[in-house]
Chains A and B, each alone.
Chain A
């Protein structure tokens, strides 16, 4: 009896829809969720504010006047992060698709292309992003080659594109492989060439399916734009370091975190919503 009550209030068996609130059960579920959240948050809050070091931590990390003073400057430099993110994302979307398509070409003729594409993803997924940023950002301009850009913003963008396109091409590839081979057979049976079948039948379905995981990778990219600070490019994180050095107060770091969250949280929610919607559609289809 108790078990049945529990199931009625909780979620349906097999319901793995990606969401936080809502679901079957109605008002009772919501009440339980609200109560347990309030209890947990209160307990956590008490642990923090009753800790011995809390007064000092509050002064150095959550100091109101410092927050108000540094926030506008950091926000202004955050424009560099957004610019970097948008630029890198555009190149990643295209370059990763090229890599994924090369990897998916069948037949022995294309073996070298498949091999190169696989090697690329292995290498750039294997190198820590921070190392690549250092290697390219300091190494390439150090060569002093004429005609090669020496801007560190440029090489930071290149590093992020190289690393993230390796991840994103794997996401694309999983999408391409999830399209049933009978779809390609149907397209080929209409006399379409392999490339036409890919372009009109396989890729449109593949890309639609991988939008949520793609967004997921872009949330990671948004955060990693902070790595360019290491090259001396002034962006939000670098600016917060400057502010901290000027006041010996860590509040600017918290301000930077708030700014990043303001961008990534909506994107995270959107991703979850898209995943839930895709799942609903799959269920409706089956």
Chain B
């Protein structure tokens, strides 16, 4: 059994069917990148895995627990799955330290000292120790996104979901965030990543899935998807990416 299993996941917003039957598995320590045009369903898929959006049909199993079963404790599930958003979503009224310790203290019930020790270790690991007492407003986009990653990691999740985490960043800040993700991958973190950074997907993913209109049209190792995609839609999409100079 794979660590993450999705079977026939459907999701509609009103009459707009965003996910039209997603089947996907992610093995432990695997890094899977979701690529595809805006509106193809990448973000919705990630939000469904974290139960931020309830699914209309289908099954989602993470680490042997079926999240879509009735009566599942969603708060317990979410503690084991970290998610990082495109727009950082840091809490503007809290310092970096409080942003990072909020989850461990309130959701895991850690003492303040334990939570702060855990936060300090993570902040040091990602070069953010000097920003410990700063407020999100005073940080660059790249620093904010790294804090958001640290905030998710502070719960020691078994799975990380990254939702286009570099799309809102100035180009020169993208690298510092992607390096953090590469480090996580090297450390064996299981990750499901929606991204427009094709270069990153090519060099860091174990597998790349191409989403089109709410379905996974094609998936495989990055070398194959990027060099010899079989589906015409994938070829079209990648051709446009190359044209835009982003691959």
Chain A residues packing against B (C-beta within 8 Å): 182-183, 185-193, 196, 200-201, 204-205, 208, 285
Contact = CB atoms under 8 A, between A and B. Distances in A.
Contacts of A187: 91, 102
Nearest to A194: B75
A182 B76 contact: no
B124 interface: no
Nearest to B107: A191
B93 interface: yes
A192 B103 CA distance: 7
Contact of A186 (B75, B85, B137): B85
Nearest to A196: B106
Contacts, number: 59
Given A192-B102, A285-B137, A186 B76 contact: no
Interface of B: 50, 52, 75-76, 78-79, 81-83, 85, 87, 89-93, 102-103, 106-108, 137, 151-152, 155
10 contacts: A186-B85, A186-B89, A189-B78, A190-B102, A191-B75, A191-B76, A192-B102, A200-B102, A200-B106, A285-B137
Nearest to B76: A191
A99 to B, nearest CB: 23
B103 A201 contact: no
A263 B245 CA distance: 66
A209 B152 CA distance: 27
A193 B108 CA distance: 11
A190 B103 contact: yes
A189 B92 contact: no
Contact of B78 (A191, A204, A205, A208): A191
A185 B93 contact: no
Contact of A182 (B79, B87, B93, B103): B87
B107 A190 contact: yes
A196 B75 CA distance: 11
A249 B193 CA distance: 81
Given A189-B78, A193-B75, 15 more contacts: A185-B52, A185-B85, A185-B89, A186-B85, A186-B90, A189-B52, A189-B152, A190-B151, A190-B152, A191-B75, A191-B78, A192-B103, A192-B107, A200-B102, A201-B91
